[in-house]
């Protein structure tokens, strides 16, 4: 029997010990690698979280700086506003540097210095993130930088101002300031109220909008006046020359030059519309509505719809899509007049006017002056007795000045694309609209049983369109109409303000200014 080889058990024991030792080394290396991977993941997460936190803080800081830029603060003040917001957002200011830059600081920066001019502000912040694991490898911290550009929305603002005769109504009885002829006389130093207060409030708004030299001004202002819709000249419903203004001095001069509607002096031959006479040496007016057009709408002077239409047309004149479009309309009454321009077609038939095709669903033949019978021969002129009724233009026998004003509010405030259902197919300019009713005539109520205020209801509707481009969403819907008392019944809801007395106008215009928002720009 052959001899069996002797197994070398000692060699196997040595090899086993070596394998165990190698395994321990491999496990140790793998464990270190796993720890390194976890550590790197943790530090990378810390880095990302730190950057995200800084970026959010810088976004907020840029908005704060833009808000201050809107108010005309200098770079040092903008920087302080940005630092305050960064600090409030929990950023460690001891290890962070922040800088604010505008076009005035770097005129060569294309992102800040745009054409046309926009109110752009950049906030750049650089900080550091401290590591936890990488310190073992000698890496203690890493720099992070975040930058954001915010825009204090450049504005195109149109002030739509009522210049009707009732703007002299606050003068004492028998005072010559009740006569627009004397009120408009530059040699007459008696203030014409409330019109003087209206102009002062409008100038206050111009001070806020146009607060830079003309060469640096990013905002624009235009002024529209409305009165009798049948007349031209200085008293007609029109855009005040030169239209868009970015020079503060020019705008203030344009506002100061506004005059209350002054009808022509009555003559022996009948003329359409209102005229002034002086029975017993006292100012008075009469209306020769039996003249050329045989329509009482020639005698009224609150062409709200015409003023809104011109505002909408102004936004189409050199439009700036990057600007915030804002309209502020102020009136002391209700719609009782409409526009008849030289381009309107009177050949549509007796007592009928042709509506221009640019008004979309309104285009066609309508009653002359939008004053259907019987609203064209009884007071209140050119509006029916139901305040809340809103007729379609196709309802020719019912469509009145109040309906026209609501359609023009849609033209101004509804969206240009995919307008809301309540806009009735009218593609608008998507302008933000604020409406202001001044004086007790705004609260004049319709006859019973309706018994609702004409002006208040219309101005609420205009504000509802201008709030979010949808007249169906009305912040004033749950606010009851006011009944005038012996005190001050001023109130506001949504974008609508009612001021019973002119003394409250400055507060209203300041509130409107404060609500014009800033937005982030990317």
**What residue segments make up the domains of the chain, in order of their start?**
21-151, 155-261+301-338+404-520
* pLDDT at residue 471, as a whole number: 95
Mean pLDDT, the chain, integer: 81
Residue 347: is its pLDDT beyond 50? no
At residue 435 the predicted structure's pLDDT band, cuts being 50, 70 and 90, is very high
Work out the pLDDT band at 41, boundaries 50, 70, 90. Answer: confident
Report whether pLDDT(293) > 60: no
Residue 331 and residue 310: Cα distance in Å, rounded?
15
At 89 the pLDDT is: 85
Q: Are 452 and 446 in contact (CB under 8 A)?
A: yes
Residue 423 has pLDDT above 70, yes or no: yes
pLDDT higher than 90, residue 21: no
Q: Is the pLDDT of residue 220 over 80?
A: yes
Q: Lowest-pLDDT range, 38-52, 199-213, 418-432?
A: 38-52
Q: Among 12-26, 85-99, 128-142, 311-325, where is mean pLDDT lowest?
A: 12-26
Q: Chain centroid to CA 133: how far?
A: 53
The proportion of the chain whose per-residue pLDDT surpasses 70, expressed as a percent, equals: 79
Domain 155-261+301-338+404-520 coded CATH 3.40.50.300: no
Residue 363 has pLDDT above 60, yes or no: no
**According to the model, what pLDDT value does residue 171 have?**
75
Q: How far is CA 335 from the centre of its chain?
A: 22
Residue 466, pLDDT score = 95
What pTM does this model have? 0.78
Q: Are 352 and 182 in contact (CB under 8 A)?
A: no
Residue 511 pLDDT > 80: yes
- Six-digit token pair at 258? 């506004």
Q: What is the mean pLDDT of residues 237-243?
A: 93
Distance of CA 309 to the CA centre of its chain: 16
Beta strands (DSSP E) in 261-357 are 273-277, 284-288, 324-331, 352-355
Collapsed DSSP state (helix, strand, coil) of residue 339: coil
Q: What are phi and psi of 191, to 5 degrees?
A: -65, 140
**Which of 408, 435, 422 has its CA nearest to residue 311?**
408
CA dist 111 → 94, 97, 209, 280 (Å) = 29, 22, 23, 68
pLDDT value at position 4? Answer: 56
Phi then psi for 117, rounded to 5 degrees? -65, 140
Confidence of residue 14 (pLDDT cuts 50, 70, 90): low
Mean of pLDDT values over 362-386? 70
Strands (E), 84-204: 97-102, 120-130, 141-151, 155-162
**Inter-residue contact 19 to 114 (CB < 8 Å):** no
What is the mean predicted confidence (pLDDT) over 89-96?
A: 76
Confidence bin at 339 (pLDDT 50/70/90): low
CA torsion sign for 59, 433, 443, 384 is negative
């Amino acid at each position: 029997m052959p001899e069996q080889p002797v197994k070398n058990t000692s060699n196997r024991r040595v090899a086993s010990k070596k394998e165990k030792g190698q395994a321990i080394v491999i496990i140790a290396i793998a464990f270190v690698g796993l720890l390194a991977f976890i550590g790197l993941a943790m530090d990378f997460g810390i880095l990302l979280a730190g950057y995200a936190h800084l970026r959010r803080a810088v976004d907020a800081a840029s908005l704060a700086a833009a808000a201050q830029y809107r108010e005309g603060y200098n770079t040092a003040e903008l920087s302080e506003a940005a630092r305050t917001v960064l600090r409030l957002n929990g950023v460690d200011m001891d290890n962070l540097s922040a800088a604010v830059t505008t076009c005035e600081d770097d005129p060569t920066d294309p992102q800040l210095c745009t054409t046309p001019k926009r109110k752009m502000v950049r906030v750049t912040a650089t900080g550091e993130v401290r590591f936890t694991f990488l310190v073992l490898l000698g890496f203690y911290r890493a720099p992070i930088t975040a930058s954001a550009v915010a825009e204090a929305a450049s504005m195109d603002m149109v002030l739509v101002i009522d210049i009707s005769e009732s703007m002299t109504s606050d003068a004492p009885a028998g005072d010559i300031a009740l006569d627009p002829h004397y009120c408009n006389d530059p040699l007459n130093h008696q203030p014409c109220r409330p019109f003087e207060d209206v102009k002062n409030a409008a100038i206050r708004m111009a001070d806020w909008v146009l607060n830079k030299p003309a060469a640096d001004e990013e905002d624009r202002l235009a002024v529209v006046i409305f009165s009798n819709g049948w007349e031209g000249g200085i008293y007609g419903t029109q855009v005040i020359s030169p239209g868009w203004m970015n020079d503060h001095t020019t705008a203030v001069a344009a506002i100061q030059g506004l005059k209350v509607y002054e009808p022509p002096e009555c003559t022996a031959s009948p003329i359409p519309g209102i005229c002034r006479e002086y029975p017993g040496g006292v100012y008075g007016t009469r209306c020769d509505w039996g003249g050329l057009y045989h329509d009482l709408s020639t005698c009224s002077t609150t062409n709200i719809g015409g003023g809104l239409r011109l505002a909408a047309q102004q936004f189409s004149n050199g439009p700036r899509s990057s600007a915030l479009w804002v309209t502020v309309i102020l009136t002391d009454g209700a719609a009782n007049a409409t526009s008849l321009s030289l381009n309107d077609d009177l050949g549509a038939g007796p007592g009928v006017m042709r509506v221009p095709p640019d008004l979309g669903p309104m285009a066609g033949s309508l009653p002359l002056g939008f004053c259907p019978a019987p609203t064209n021969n009884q007071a209140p002129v050119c509006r029916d007795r139901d305040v809340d009724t809103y007729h379609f233009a196709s309802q020719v026998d019912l469509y009145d000045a109040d309906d026209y004003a609501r359609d023009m509010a849609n033209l101004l405030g509804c969206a240009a694309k995919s307008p809301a259902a309540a806009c009735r197919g009218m593609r608008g300019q998507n302008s933000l609209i604020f409406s202001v009713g001044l004086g007790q005539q705004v609260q004049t109520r319709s006859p019973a049983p309706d018994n609702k205020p004409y002006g208040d209801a219309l101005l609420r509707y205009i504000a509802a369109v201008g709030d979010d481009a949808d007249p169906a969403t009305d912040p004033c819907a749950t606010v009851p109409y006011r009944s005038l008392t012996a005190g001050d019944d001023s109130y506001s809801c949504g974008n609508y303000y009612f001021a019973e007395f002119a003394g409250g106008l400055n507060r209203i215009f300041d509130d409107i200014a404060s609500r014009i928002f800033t937005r982030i720009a990317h």
